[in-house]
Amino acid sequence: MRQQARIPRTSDKNALWRFALAVYAEPGVKEECLYFQDRQKGDVCLLLAALFLASGGCSIGPDTLRRLKYSVPWQARLHLFLTRYVRKRLSRDGRTGRLRKALLKRELTMEQTRLARLEAASIDERANLEQDDALRKLIDSLCAFYGLKRIGLSATIAATRKSGGSARHSPHLS
C-alpha cells in the first residue's frame, strides 16, 4: 500500500523528505522528475520543496523559488551536480559499477540533506499560506522561473493533489 504524500500542519522534522518519497513513489513521477532534471535543467529538490509548500496552501512565486534555491549554499548545489555528473558517466559493471553505486548512495544522502535545508528555509514561507490555486500558481511560477512554456509534471502534480493539495488546471501543465 502506498504512503499518502501529506503535508503536516505542525513542524515535523523530515516531513519534506517523507513527502518527497511518497510523491516520488507514485506512477510516472520518477520519469517526469528525471526528465525535468536532465532535459529541462530543473532542480528536483527545489521542485519537491515547492510542491510540499504549495500542497499546504502556500502560494509559490518566482521570488519564493529564488529564496528557496539560494537557501542551499552554492557549494552544496555544485557538489551534488558534480557527483551526479560523474555517476551518470560510469558503467554499471565491474569496479566502476561499485563506484557508481557508492556515488548514487552519496547523491541520495546529499539530496536528503538538501531537502532538510529547503524545509528549514520553507518555515518562513509557510506563514504566507493561501489556499486558492496554490499548485496552479506553482506550475506557472516554475515555468517563469525556468523560462519554459510548458512543464511535463502532470503525474507529479496529480500525486500532490492526491495528498490533499488543490489546484485547477494550468495552461503550462502537460
pLDDT tens profile 123-170: 766 654 443 357 777 888 888 999 988 887 778 877 776 765 444 445
Residue 23's pLDDT band, with cuts at 50, 70 and 90, is: very high
Q: Which helix (H) or strand (E) holds 54?
A: helix 44-55
Most confident of the ranges 21-25, 75-79, 127-131, 166-170:
21-25
Write the DSSP string, 13-45: TTHHHHHHHHHHTSTTHHHHHHHHHHTS---HH
Mean pLDDT of 3-7: 42
Q: Which pLDDT score is estimated for 13?
A: 74
Residue 160 three-state SS: helix
Judged by average pLDDT, the poorest of 47-56, 66-75, 112-121, 128-137 is 128-137
Cell readout for 164 is 490533499
